[in-house]
Structure 1
Amino acid sequence: MHVLGVRDGGAGGDALERVVDRVVDRLSERGRVGVVRYDATIADGTHAGESLTFGGDVTYDLGVDGDWAASGTGMSVGDALDSLSTDCKYAVVVGVRSLRHPSIVVGEAVDDRITEGPVLATIDGPADLEFDDLIARLEAAEPHESLQSLVARVKRSPSADRAGAIATFTGRVRAKDSDDDARTEHLEFEKYEGVADERMAALEADLEARDGVLEVELYHRTGVVADGEDIVFVVVLAGHRAEAFRTVEDGIDRLKDEVPLFKKEVTAEDEFWVHDRP
């Protein structure tokens, strides 16, 4: 699922909503769209970020063909995106200043609390949007995947009728190896552009060629991943549990060995690229 943030750079609520409506209408021509709205005024002044749990509600509406809305006290934007990722092609996030996904800014007011992800456009209103360029750049960015979205994808496999097992692995950022270690604040991952994606696809194909294995999904985040957040997922659809378990274990081992990803670790005391560490 591709995620696009829309935030107010000073144009005001009416202009922001007209942009959101236009963006959702155009994206819905290409697939199902989820909309996540966050109102910072209900968060007791807390700076809203994707990894934060808000004091108020995050509400989300499902696409132009959806007829319901849901809200959850204490739900994070990440939680809402995970929920939408199972059956939406796009998500539009409104009102979050700090987002690792691409965003557009409505208005040009100076704001030091800028979005963490790339700004695709700064505009005054919907007439300024260049949709072909916007969609191309949005779809070139890293998508939002969750364990739920990958499991949902393999369940939709044409081979699902022959499947008796789904096995998964989730890797996450570990704060410490032992009590005496300096706490890891976050990891930062970079990939060897082009090569990493090719190796990942080749690895999936090789694992799917095994007897009894029907579908394999591998996903590894890039960029900054905070303490406690998920980094990597392996999902295997198989005829029986034995081949599912074996393939999950081999999948994560080979991903770490064969896919060129570079990791920087930032602790409370130091930062270093792991491949440079003696």
Structure 2
Amino acid sequence: MKIISVIGHKKSGKTLLVEKLVQALKKYGSVGTIKHIPDHRLDKEGSDTWRHNKAGADIVIGVTPYERLAITSKNSNNLEDALKELADNGMDFAVVEGFKDSNLPKIVLGEMDISEINNIKKIVKNTGRLRAPDLSELINIVLAQSEYVTLNTLIKKVHKNPDFKKVGTIGTFTGIVRAVTGNVHTYALEYEIYEGVAEEYINNLCKELKKRDGVVEVLIHHNTGYLEAGKDTIYIVVAAAHRQEMFPVLIEAIERVKSEVPIWKKEHTLEGSFWVSEK
């Protein structure tokens, strides 16, 4: 899923630009949106769903003939969970309105102080005069963004494979930033990759493993950057006709990513930070 955030002052035209981006991106795939609403409550106080929530329900789902609304607890009211939900539901694009303090790639509308805003991809002075060539530039910016991937993203991709009818089993592996190893307490791992080369290694590995008997699909995604303890580091998905064909390939994929792909890991512990190994 490719993500773009649209930010700007009130009445700057953010929602208008989001509408235009959604309409244009629909030509390339499915689109989900996220709206930052800092001072408004969607669930009306005193309503039945509000009472369910106040009683302690962690998720309340309202179903009408026209729509379905999921209301979550405060613990899930954050941008990260919202993005994960869109990705898990198979969205190809996420257009986010607001969240200027996030690390998301951003399009800035109008005049605003950008001294403390990061990851700006484009500044648009006037959305009211945005023409087709300008919109095309913004769409190309969105298409150029890196993919946001979850485990469910990869599993859904397997289900869309034309040869899915041959699949009898799907095996997955998820690597996690381990917080405690013996007496060592790790609060984060930091991954750096050899841009372009690492992706090529992974793509070639997937192609090679897909040639094994009974294997239908092999998908690998490695997260990079600064990952706190408990966060996912890597996803590997292997789809095959039988479990006897799937498990050996899954294990081989795990070991070969670790030994062959040019990815470097820096461990941040309470005792200090250090690079774990060099390839």
TM-score by length of 2: 0.80
SS in 2 for 1:151: helix
- Specify which of 206, 225, 228 is matched with residue 227 of structure 2: 225
**Which residue of structure 1 lines up, in the alignment, with residue 51 of structure 2?**
none
Residue of 8, 14, 17 corresponding to 1:16: 14
The answer to whether the 8 Å contact 2:174/2:233 transfers is yes
Task: Read off the aligned partner of 1:123 and give its amino acid letter.
Answer: V
Q: Does 1:145 align with 2:146?
A: no
Q: In structure 2, how many angstroms separate the alpha carbons of the residues matched to 1:168 and 1:250?
A: 13
Aligned with 1:91 (options 78, 90, 94)? 94
SS in 2 for 1:168: strand
Q: Which moved more, 1:145-154 or 1:225-234?
A: 225-234
User: Which one of 99, 106, 111 corresponds to residue 103 of structure 1?
Assistant: 106
* Alpha-carbon distance between aligned partners in 2 of 1:123 and 1:94, rounded to the nearest angstrom: 15
1-structure distance, mates of 2:101, 2:231: 16
- Deviations 1:213-262 (Å, cap 9, x if unpaired)? 11011001122222211111000111011221221111111111111112
Distance 1:202-1:105 versus aligned 2 partners, 3 A rule: same
The residue number in structure 1 matching 2:261 is 259
C-alpha spacing 1:133/1:263, structure 2 compared with 1 (3 Å):
farther
Distance (Å, rounded) in 2 between the aligned partners of 1:246 and 1:183 = 30
What are the superposed Cα offsets for residues 75-114 of structure 1, whole Å, 9 maximum, x if unpaired?
2322322232242211112222343431112234225653
Name the residue aligned to 1:62. none
Measure, in 1, the Cα distance between the counterparts of 2:193 and 2:233.
Answer: 13
Name which of 173, 176, 179 aligns with 2:177: 173
Residue identity over aligned pairs, in percent, reads: 33
Q: Larger deviation: 21-30 or 128-137?
A: 128-137
Change in CA separation of 1:193 and 1:183 when aligned onto 2, cut-off 3 Å = closer
CA drift at 1:196: 1.0
Shift of 1:132: 3.2
Once the two structures are TM-superposed, the CA of residue 151 in structure 1 deviates from its matched residue by 0.4
Cα RMSD for the two superposed structures: 2.6
**Deviation of the 1:189 alpha carbon:** 1.8
Q: Kindly indicate whether residue 72 of structure 2 is the aligned counterpart of residue 72 of structure 1.
A: yes
Kindly state the Cα deviation for residue 13 of structure 1 after the two structures are TM-superposed. Answer: 4.0
CA contact (8 A) 2:175 2:232 kept: yes
Structure 2 gap segments, 5+ residues each: 42-57, 59-65
Does the 8 Å contact 1:167/1:236 carry over to 2?
A: yes
Change (3 A) 1:172 1:40: farther
Distance 1:155 1:95, change over 3 A: same
| Further displaced range: 13-22 or 88-97 | 13-22
Larger Rg: 2
CA contact under 8 A between 1:208 and 1:215: conserved in structure 2?
A: yes
Alpha-carbon distance, 1:204 to partner: 0.2
SS across alignment from 2:180: coil
Cα distance in 1 for residues equivalent to 2:90 and 2:241: 24
2:274, 2:11 → 1: CA distance?
43
- CA–CA separation in structure 1 for the residues paired with 2:271 and 2:11: 42
Contact 2:12 2:110 in 1 (8 A): no
1:197 aligned onto 2:199: yes
For the Cα contact (< 8 Å) 1:82–1:149, is it kept in 2?
no
Give the TM-score normalised by structure 1. Answer: 0.80
Question: How many correspondences in the alignment?
Answer: 250
Report the CA distance between 1:68 and its aligned residue. Answer: 5.3
Shift of 1:136: 2.9
- The answer to whether structure 1 residue 6 and structure 2 residue 6 are counterparts is yes
1:106-155, CA deviations, whole angstroms, 9 ceiling, x for partnerless residues?
Answer: 2342256534xx21112233235833333333333321110111001101
